[in-house]
Structure 1
Amino acid sequence: MTPSRELTLRALLTGLVLGALLTPANLYAGLKIGWSFNMSIIALLVGYTLWQSLSGAFGLPRWAIHESNITQTSASSAASIISGGLVAPIPAYTLLTGEQLPLPALVAWVFSVSFLGVWVAWYLRRGLVVDDGLRFPEGMATLETLQQIYGHGREALQRLRVLAGAAMLAALAKGLDILLALPRWAPTPALERLTFNLEPSLLLVGFGGIIGLRVGLSLVLGAALAWGLLAPWVIDQGWVTLAADARGPQFAVLIEWLLWPGVSLMVCATLTSLAIRLARLQRVRPASGGAPAAMGWPWLGLLGLGLAGTLVVLLQVMLFGISPLLALLSIPLAVLLAMVAARVVGATGIPPIGAVGQVSQLSFGVLAPGQVPINLMAANTAGGAAGQCADLLNDFKVGHAIGASPSRQLLAQCLGIAVGSLVGALAYRALIPDPQAMLITAEWPAPAVATWRAVAEALTLGLDALAPEIRWAMLAGGLAGLLLGALEALLPLRGLRWLPSSAALGLAFIIPASISLTMAFGAGLAWLFAARWRSLAERFVIVAAAGLVAGESMTGVAAALWQLLR
């Protein structure tokens, strides 16, 4: 497989088309449960199977391994566009200000933030991927899949069949739910009001298979604490009042109270864990460390960073009325936090994007107290750039392992985020035409939006604006988060199996109990399958789970587009 057949038209177009199809799936999942899925492996399997079949049928050149890398790079960069703010600060900005960006401005903003992340990743590539040789576990999983399908061609076809079958099953189930409004069974009306009802969603089952048993059980524990114990107690105390004739899940009423301890737990846990991990990484960093060295062509990196930074600053001033000085300050903060996120992802595989966003919000809360646009959108620059940077360094890890050209990957990434920005903005508008009425509801819990909004409110309005009982709940959640975050960073992997996941525990306070229970059910199914058929599980569980996620989410997006056209 010669490196010269790498950035071919077919490889690039295949990745961009797959990225355009998969971007709405990540957006849908992000607004539903606050988590997204890396689309590299799906893109690899589809691209390889498609072009190997066409090559055999029409005598075309064989699909080279470097072409597969370009396809997964462009597709994953497009699908990771949601880190640009579409499922967190942008909707939170609309909820707090009532303003919604026009479509061209939304596309330009998401692109600019992600574009900055691309160039930070380019700058960090040599230092983190080549010199320090960080593992980047997500990139290694993609590399392993790439090597398997080129070593055993039939493996790709078998995995693709499982992926397609799971996607069609989830699409059919979602279609039936849309057409027939499948019932949400609950044991009793009282439990239904507390959101303990059946959620017929294979997407949630699929995400459960991806997150694993520890996170799934943590969601059950969090749902029991939040919706089973705390919510009834809050109602009994009169801190939340339900209508006498209230029927069905009362998520919108209860979440206004429960989100505060949940957000406090997640924020304190992620910041504590991040600080400890960084301190430990600094101690074990190779002696050759220091500032990461720029990758080749230093003038290109400086030019790209300068162009991206200028674009972000101009858009902050023009779209949100942020002062030029504060807009300029967001650029070095974005670069610094992206470097932090990249090093943590490279060493642990855990993207601290939530923590990065909250650090940026806290930073601008100090620099410009009481200003919502600055707190959300200047902070969005740091969070978005860090998310895109961390994702794309996984692609660079794969490329480095197979001897791919970094500059060609860079071009594929830039084109990918251009396509992802346009498709993501269109899909967001189709799914959520009225954010203030639709978000932070039982249908669209949008936990990341709730978190960004809560932090912005706390920083701009002050904690004194909250009821005393909410402040006590926040203190309890924060203390629990500090403890769990420290234990997660300090315990060995074997010990983590017995520790609840702080992210899942806090998330369970912000999403309906039905979602937590369904995801836990999927995690349990995957664990049972792996316990019985370990080798099959290693090959097919994640692929099947990804198919369930993609099938339901794309059907949901298609239904929203159809409704919009009507």
Structure 2
Amino acid sequence: MASSATPQLTFRAVLLSVFLAVILAAANAYLGLFAGLTIATAIPAAVISMGVLRLLGGGTILENNIVQTGASAGSSIAAGVIFTIPALVILGYWQDFRYSWVLAIAGLGGLLGVLFSVPLRRSMIVEDPLPFPEGKAAAEVLKAGENPGPGLKILALAGGVGALVKVAAESGMRLIPDNAIVSGWMGKYLGFMGTNLSPALLGVGYIVGLNVGIVVVSGSILSWQFAIPIYHMFFLGSDPELAARIADGSAEQIGRAIWSAKVRYLGVGTMLIGGVWTLFSLRKSLMSGVKSGLAAARKGSGGVVAETDRDLPMKWMLIALVAFVMPLLLLYQAIVGNWFVSVPMTIIMIVAGFLFVSVSAYLAGLIGSSNNPVSGITISTILFASAVLVLMLGRDSPIGAVAAIMIGAVVCCAAAVGGDNLQDLKAGYIVGATPWKQQLMLGIGTFSCALIMAPVLNLLAAAYGIGAPTAEHPNSLAAPQATLMASVAKGMFGGELPWTMIGIGAAIGAVIIAFDEWLKSRKAKFRVPVLAAAIGIYLPLELMVPIFLGGLLSHIVGRRRGLTANSDEAEVDRVHRPGTLFAAGLITGEALMGIAIAFPIVISKRADVLALPERFHFGAGIGLLVLAVVVWLFYRSSRNAPVPQA
């Protein structure tokens, strides 16, 4: 463990942390809009920090810890923003992403997440410690940081591979397509199968593992292999408008139209019931976390506290809380124009923010930030806020849905940052860091990321489109969570939604929950998290297939490297660390290239500005071959790279 006199919050550490936070926030924003998932960034940031600071003359373990602490805000703020704020564009309230409003929602919401999580540190990390698996893993990486060279090489190789494949795909030179799809008819059965050719999705699958990979692809199979064919055969005749619209379409076009208009709402219902269940199942832990947090806050006042146990002063936290809440009150007032509504909106936001930061922190402590169901928390917030606002504004209010999204957006940013903050504080606790310095660094990283979110979103929207496909953007970024939030809020305020499909989806969610509880009672290793299944039901099948393949690759690598069902979490993380770094490199390289490609597209106003002549456009077969090469490189790097010493 490092001494408290070891340099921590140095200028170079802060500068590097902010740079990495901004880069990783942009990459995670692209990934989240594309696939509905973000990844934790602490470990890649720690490896990069150790390499960079070594070039600058060597860095201390606590400097590297500060860098990964601030940089991890890149994933949490990106998740909070892309899960909610695009809903305001999808609802038609905004035509683009307004800089000052995005900054206020993301920046102030994220800073509230930091403040709300401070009193939880003592109860969840010191007095009644939770596992915090990613915090432990980051601490082990920091302690083993004498030789970051191999990890940096893996990151660089994977980043280059991800970037090259992205520039070769449809949004770049169009050498290969984005998808390899096979569809057709077997009698009256509408068949559909395919895969996206994205290396980033392989990386996501490797990180989330085989269990989650099986669950998400099973959800998509339920939609595409069962629900869509059943609807086409038995129920399309009762929807003459949809039937007329797809009468002359191909099998793929018909399948996608039915999915867009009807079947994806099964996922909405599943997510709704999953969000409610998440809160219900955590009711005891929630109350325990809130009580212990308040007790820790009272206990922390006065007395001599060791440097390694010193949080941000409570007095300054309360001042900051008021300072951060007042601009949000004014923002809500600008939306509704009624103090009798904007003040309750602010109160709902504060109460829900603190409660759900506690939930998020508890879940992050149990299952990790990457598996933290922040979207379920946000759905619950929007449902509760909508119910209150319906009483105040009426169900026909034109701004009710927007007001509910605004509350949910702030709470989502706070919950995402809060859960991530506790992971970082766990790592710091293990290596002997000063908590208040980490909390300050996370605040700096959070606000730095918020500064760039609106330009990144506007760039991606202009280049690729966000939400439902259009003639201008036929392969738009799906933004699944934001589309879901918009649907829920709109449905609560008089919007037209296929409630029958949502109800069936809720029933499916209830069955999944019951099955998962049965597995839990049998202490089964395999589990069926309802929100993961909902994502699979809601998203196109081709996005879920490479995630499953990445999870399968992770399983194979683990078996080849000696992991068994009884291996503990530390051993699993250590064995998979080279693969995790390769996965992070694939994701970051592809995402950053996607953002880079967006610049010439927006400037030229041509989606094909980088496209080579048509004779160089190869088919899906070559695309599959490219993906196979990526899988081979992934396997070789994960299987053969030296495993860090325990």
TM-score, normalised via structure 2 length: 0.79
**Which residue matches 1:84?**
80
**Which residue matches 2:445?**
416
Correspondence 1:549 to 2:544? no
Q: Answer whether contact 2:271 2:534 (CA < 8 A) is retained.
A: yes
Match of 1:347 among 346, 352, 366: 366
**Which residue matches 2:260?**
255
Match of 1:182 among 176, 179, 195: 176
**Which residue matches 1:447?**
480
What secondary structure is seen at the aligned counterpart in 2 of 1:196? strand
Correspondence 1:517 to 2:545? yes
**Which residue matches 1:367?**
388
**Which residue matches 1:336?**
355
Correspondence 1:507 to 2:535? yes
95-104 vs 402-411, which moves further:
95-104
Q: Give the CA deviation at 1:292.
A: 4.2
Match of 2:60 among 64, 73, 81: 64
What is the distance in 2 between the residues matched to 1:407 and 1:489?
39
**Which residue matches 2:197?**
200
Q: Where does the alignment leave 5 or more consecutive residues of structure 1 unmatched?
A: 56-61
Correspondence 1:235 to 2:239? no
Matched ranges for 1:531-546 at <5 A: 531-534=559-562, 537-546=575-584
Q: Where does the alignment leave 5 or more consecutive residues of structure 2 unmatched?
A: 301-310, 470-474, 564-573, 605-646
Q: Answer whether contact 2:22 2:452 (CA < 8 A) is retained.
A: yes
Mark the CA change 1:195 to 1:422 in structure 2 (over 3 Å): closer, same or farther.
Answer: farther
What is the distance in 1 between the residues matched to 2:292 and 2:377?
26
Q: Which amino acid in structure 1 is aligned with residue 91 of structure 2?
A: L
Q: Give the CA deviation at 1:12.
A: 0.7
Correspondence 1:384 to 2:402? no
Matched ranges for 1:460-475 at <5 A: 460-461=493-494, 465-466=496-497, 470-475=498-503
492-501 vs 411-420, which moves further:
492-501
Q: Answer whether contact 2:28 2:79 (CA < 8 A) is retained.
A: no
Q: Answer whether contact 1:73 1:413 (CA < 8 A) is retained.
A: yes
Match of 1:297 among 296, 301, 313: 313
What secondary structure is seen at the aligned counterpart in 1 of 2:247? coil
Q: Give the CA deviation at 1:38.
A: 1.0
**Which residue matches 1:59?**
none
Q: Answer whether contact 2:466 2:477 (CA < 8 A) is retained.
A: yes
Correspondence 1:246 to 2:265? no
Q: Give the CA deviation at 1:500.
A: 3.3
Match of 2:13 among 11, 18, 32: 11
Match of 1:326 among 322, 344, 363: 344
Mark the CA change 1:271 to 1:287 in structure 2 (over 3 Å): closer, same or farther.
Answer: closer
74-83 vs 113-122, which moves further:
74-83
Q: Answer whether contact 1:274 1:352 (CA < 8 A) is retained.
A: no
What secondary structure is seen at the aligned counterpart in 2 of 1:433? helix
Mark the CA change 1:550 to 1:434 in structure 2 (over 3 Å): closer, same or farther.
Answer: closer
Superposed CA deviations along residues 482-539 of structure 1, whole A, max 9, x for unmatched, are 2433554674497454443322321122211111112112211221222222478423
**Which residue matches 1:219?**
216
Q: Which amino acid in structure 2 is aligned with residue 272 of structure 1?
A: W
Q: Among the aligned pairs, what percent are the same residue?
A: 25
126-135 vs 514-523, which moves further:
126-135
What secondary structure is seen at the aligned counterpart in 2 of 1:509? helix
Match of 2:379 among 343, 346, 358: 358
Q: Answer whether contact 1:125 1:393 (CA < 8 A) is retained.
A: yes
What is the distance in 1 between the residues matched to 2:83 and 2:99?
17
Q: Answer whether contact 1:2 1:64 (CA < 8 A) is retained.
A: no
Q: Answer whether contact 1:445 1:510 (CA < 8 A) is retained.
A: no
What is the distance in 1 between the residues matched to 2:499 and 2:351?
33
What secondary structure is seen at the aligned counterpart in 2 of 1:561? helix
**Which residue matches 1:58?**
none
What secondary structure is seen at the aligned counterpart in 2 of 1:182? coil
What is the distance in 1 between the residues matched to 2:207 and 2:434?
31
**Which residue matches 2:324?**
308
Mark the CA change 1:143 to 1:365 in structure 2 (over 3 Å): closer, same or farther.
Answer: same
Q: Give the CA deviation at 1:543.
A: 1.2
What is the distance in 2 between the residues matched to 1:316 and 1:288?
31
What secondary structure is seen at the aligned counterpart in 1 of 2:8? coil
Superposed CA deviations along residues 300-355 of structure 1, whole A, max 9, x for unmatched, are 12112221222222222235647332232221221122222222322343423122
Q: Give the CA deviation at 1:66.
A: 0.7
Higher CA-based Rg: 2
Correspondence 1:276 to 2:281? yes
Q: Answer whether contact 2:83 2:375 (CA < 8 A) is retained.
A: no
Superposed CA deviations along residues 341-398 of structure 1, whole A, max 9, x for unmatched, are 2223223434231221112111112111131122211222222211111111111111
Q: Give the CA deviation at 1:457.
A: 2.3
Q: Answer whether contact 1:15 1:71 (CA < 8 A) is retained.
A: yes
Q: Which amino acid in structure 1 is aligned with residue 388 of structure 2?
A: L
What is the distance in 1 between the residues matched to 2:280 and 2:386?
20
Q: Answer whether contact 1:252 1:440 (CA < 8 A) is retained.
A: no
Mark the CA change 1:189 to 1:182 in structure 2 (over 3 Å): closer, same or farther.
Answer: farther
What secondary structure is seen at the aligned counterpart in 1 of 2:196? coil
Q: Answer whether contact 1:79 1:420 (CA < 8 A) is retained.
A: no
Structure whose residues are more often helix by fraction = 1
Q: Answer whether contact 2:14 2:66 (CA < 8 A) is retained.
A: yes
Correspondence 1:163 to 2:179? no
Q: Which amino acid in structure 2 is aligned with residue 419 of structure 1?
A: S
Taking only aligned residues, the RMSD between alpha carbons, in angstroms, comes to 2.8
Mark the CA change 1:286 to 1:304 in structure 2 (over 3 Å): closer, same or farther.
Answer: closer
365-374 vs 309-318, which moves further:
309-318
Mark the CA change 1:383 to 1:539 in structure 2 (over 3 Å): closer, same or farther.
Answer: closer
Mark the CA change 1:488 to 1:279 in structure 2 (over 3 Å): closer, same or farther.
Answer: farther
Mark the CA change 1:106 to 1:257 in structure 2 (over 3 Å): closer, same or farther.
Answer: same
Mark the CA change 1:403 to 1:498 in structure 2 (over 3 Å): closer, same or farther.
Answer: closer
72-81 vs 495-504, which moves further:
495-504
Q: Answer whether contact 2:97 2:457 (CA < 8 A) is retained.
A: no
42-51 vs 493-502, which moves further:
493-502
What secondary structure is seen at the aligned counterpart in 2 of 1:187? strand
